[in-house]
Amino acid sequence: MKKKDLEKNLLIRINDLLELNLSNNERSALNRVKTGLEKSSYFPGVVDDLRNELTPLAIRSLQFIQLIFSSNEQYLNLVFLIG
């Protein structure tokens, strides 16, 4: 796939993601990348920026999900002990 096609596809995906219910941090990161792509900034740099901004958010989100499942497991164990 050509570089311009990659840029175009990434911009389409970012626009699709911006239609979703996102946190302010996620929306800001995607908007910065979108602006970079629209201004024809250095593509590898734009992709690196996206990765650097979204990776910590994804890790925090995963940790939160793990906490929820851990809490649910403890709740279920309590319910089975009582019931």
As a three-state string, the secondary structure of 46-64 is: HHHHHHHHHHHHHHHHHHH
Q: Which two tokens stand for residue 71?
A: 């809490």
Question: pLDDT digits over 6-60, tens only?
Answer: 888 888 988 998 998 888 888 998 899 899 989 988 888 988 888 888 888 878 7
How much is the pLDDT for 83? Answer: 45
Report yes or no on whether pTM surpasses 0.75: no
Distance CA 23, CA 6 (A): 25
Domain spans, the chain: 3-82
Residue 68 has pLDDT above 70, yes or no: no
